[in-house]
Each structure stands twice: as structure tokens, then as C-alpha cells.
């Protein structure tokens, strides 16, 4: 049996739900309340010492880290295959996923807190906010989150995060000019891994990063959203509290981001 510990809007959890949907795999799961700190409770840390989602249990065997979970599902459930047959294309797929782990995920976190979650977190008392931050074991992640909450788009590092995001999207557009999907002619793990991050940018009001300037990426995102797995793995999990957390002033956010990107170039 597959059992997934996940978060409703977590980009890493979405990756795994997309793969499960594309492979047609039945699974059970538990949604952790990340705002309440479920991921830091001792019983969860016994499964995942990093205190993050997702965590997959397969017949009592535990797999952590979303990219590794994607690879595990591909190895354990070969059909339908989500990796190219060609070795070079497989390497390209892994490179797209590695770049997410190396830079894009941290950038996504900083930008999300600076634009959306900051508004919610600032409703907390100073003591409650500090308690929330103190539960984060990764010091770098904790301080990035603190800076984004305190300073928003003016936080140190946010411009670099926007630049990293913009570069990844630009490279996606260039690759998609050559093939319909990121690593090959067929939809696969590279596309699954990238989908939550492009969707997160859209939720934050940053569609201007591709609309009107990156047509191949825009067409790719349209195709991704048309797949049944998008509704199953993403749309159905967005309840009213999540909609509130992602309510942003789009008329203000995009011009500010556009200005910061222009200054960074």
C-alpha cells in the first residue's frame, strides 16, 4: 500500500501527487497542517527527520525527498513510464529536477513568503511568529523565511530568487522550442517536477514572467493544465483557507517584481 504524508499546496507534495495520478496508482494519505506545525511533531520527525513534506510509505518502507520519491515511483511502477528511453534525454530530465532542488525550490519559498504568506504570518503575535520560526530545523531556510516575512519583496536575497526563477523559466522556454515536453517528445518526470513551480508563480500573480514573452512555456503550461492529473493533484486540494493565503494584490505585485527583475538584469 502507498501512503503519502503531504500538504495541500506544498509544491513538493504536488510533484508526488502528479506522478501518482499519471501512473494511476491508488494511495491513501494524510494532509499535514503545515501552519500548525504538524511536520515538526515527534511522530512525524520519526519518519522524516527533515520535518518537511512529502513522505511516502510503501508497505512500511519510508521514502523521503520529493525528487527521490519520483524516481522511486518510476522504478517501482514502471508503467506507464515517465522517463525517456534515451539515456541522454534521461540525463536531461534529471538535470531539470536537480536544478529545482539546487536553486528553484529555495527561490520559490522566498518569493512565496515575500508575496503571499507574509500577510498571513504578520497576523500572528511576535511570540507566535518566533515560535513558528524556531520550529524550523534548517537554519538557512528559517532565516530566508524570517527575512521574507519581515521585509517582503525588499528582503535580502529576494531579487536573486526572482532572478533564479526567471532564468529557469527562460531555459524552459528555450527547451520547449525544441521539444513539446521538457526532456523529450513525451510528458514525463521533468514536466511533473516543474509544474508546481510554474503554477505557484501563476498563483502569486507572476504570469507576466511568461505571458507575451515566452510562448513555448505558455503553451506548455496550457497543455499541463489540460491534463486530468492537474485537477486531481492540484485544483481539488485548494480549499478556501489556501485561497485566502494566496490572495495577493496582483496590480501591485507584478509591477514591483517587474521592476526588481529589470534592475537585476
Confidence bin at 24 (pLDDT 50/70/90):
very high
CB-based burial of residue 60 (10 Å sphere; 0-12 exposed, 13-18 middle, 19+ buried)?
A: exposed
* Longest CA span, the chain: 54
Comparing 246 with 190, the larger pLDDT belongs to 190
Give residue 37's pLDDT. Answer: 87
Handedness of CA 27, 30, 32, 38 (dihedral sign): negative
Mean pLDDT calculated for residue range 168-184? 97
Give residue 164's pLDDT. Answer: 97
Pairing state between β 2-6 and 55-58: antiparallel
pLDDT tens, position by position, 106-155: 999 999 999 998 888 888 888 988 988 888 888 888 898 898 889 889 99
All structural domains of the chain, each given as residue ranges with its CATH number in brackets, are 2-76 (3.40.30.10), 87-264 (1.20.1050.10)
Give residue 119's pLDDT. Answer: 86
pLDDT tens, position by position, 183-224: 999 999 999 999 999 999 999 999 999 999 999 999 999 999
Give residue 82's pLDDT. Answer: 98
Give residue 263's pLDDT. Answer: 72
pLDDT tens, position by position, 5-18: 999 999 999 999 99
**To which H or E segment does residue 160 belong?**
helix 158-176
Residue 77, φ and ψ in degrees, nearest 5: -135, 85
Other Cβ atoms within 10 Å of 133 Cβ, number: 15
Whether the Cβ atoms of residue 57 and residue 30 lie closer than 8 Å to each other? no
DSSP one-letter code for 84: -
Q: How far is CA 169 from the centre of its chain?
A: 14
Give residue 265's pLDDT. Answer: 57
**To which H or E segment does residue 210 belong?**
none
pLDDT tens, position by position, 75-104: 999 999 999 999 999 999 999 999 999 999
Mean pLDDT calculated for residue range 220-240? 95
Confidence bin at 231 (pLDDT 50/70/90):
very high
pLDDT tens, position by position, 37-86: 899 899 999 999 999 999 999 998 999 999 999 999 999 999 999 999 99
C-alpha cell at 236: 481539488
Residue 228 pLDDT exceeds 70? yes
Amino acid at each position: 500500500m502507498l501512503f503519502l504524508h503531504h500538504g495541500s499546496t506544498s509544491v513538493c507534495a504536488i510533484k508526488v501527487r502528479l506522478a501518482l495520478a499519471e501512473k494511476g496508482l491508488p494511495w491513501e494519505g494524510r494532509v499535514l497542517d503545515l501552519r500548525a506545525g504538524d511536520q515538526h511533531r515527534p511522530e512525524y520527525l520519526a519518519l522524516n527527520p527533515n520535518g518537511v513534506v512529502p513522505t511516502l510509505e510503501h508497505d512500511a518502507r519510508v521514502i523521503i525527498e520529493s525528487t527521490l520519491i519520483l524516481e522511486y515511483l518510476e522504478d517501482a511502477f514502471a508503467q506507464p513510464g515517465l522517463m525517456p528511453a534515451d539515456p541522454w534525454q534521461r540525463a536531461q530530465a534529471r538535470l531539470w529536477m536537480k536544478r529545482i532542488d539546487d536553486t528553484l525550490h529555495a527561490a520559490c519559498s522566498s518569493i512565496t513568503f515575500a508575496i503571499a504568506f507574509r500577510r498571513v504570518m504578520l497576523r500572528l503575535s511576535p511570540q507566535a511568529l518566533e515560535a513558528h520560526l524556531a520550529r524550523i530545523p534548517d537554519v538557512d531556510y528559517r532565516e530566508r523565511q524570517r527575512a521574507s516575512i519581515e521585509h517582503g519583496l525588499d528582503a535580502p536575497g529576494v531579487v536573486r530568487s526572482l532572478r533564479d526563477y526567471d532564468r529557469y523559466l527562460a531555459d524552459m522556454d528555450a527547451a520547449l522550442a525544441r521539444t513539446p515536453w521538457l526532456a523529450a517528445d513525451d510528458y514525463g518526470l521533468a514536466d511533473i517536477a516543474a509544474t508546481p513551480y510554474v503554477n505557484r508563480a501563476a498563483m502569486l500573480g507572476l504570469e507576466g514572467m511568461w505571458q507575451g514573452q515566452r510562448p513555448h512555456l505558455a503553451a506548455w503550461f496550457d497543455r499541463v493544465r489540460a491534463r486530468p492529473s492537474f485537477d486531481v493533484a492540484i485544483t481539488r486540494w485548494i480549499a478556501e483557507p489556501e485561497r485566502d493565503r494566496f490572495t495577493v494584490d496582483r496590480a501591485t505585485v507584478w509591477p514591483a517584481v517587474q521592476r526588481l527583475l529589470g534592475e537585476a538584469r
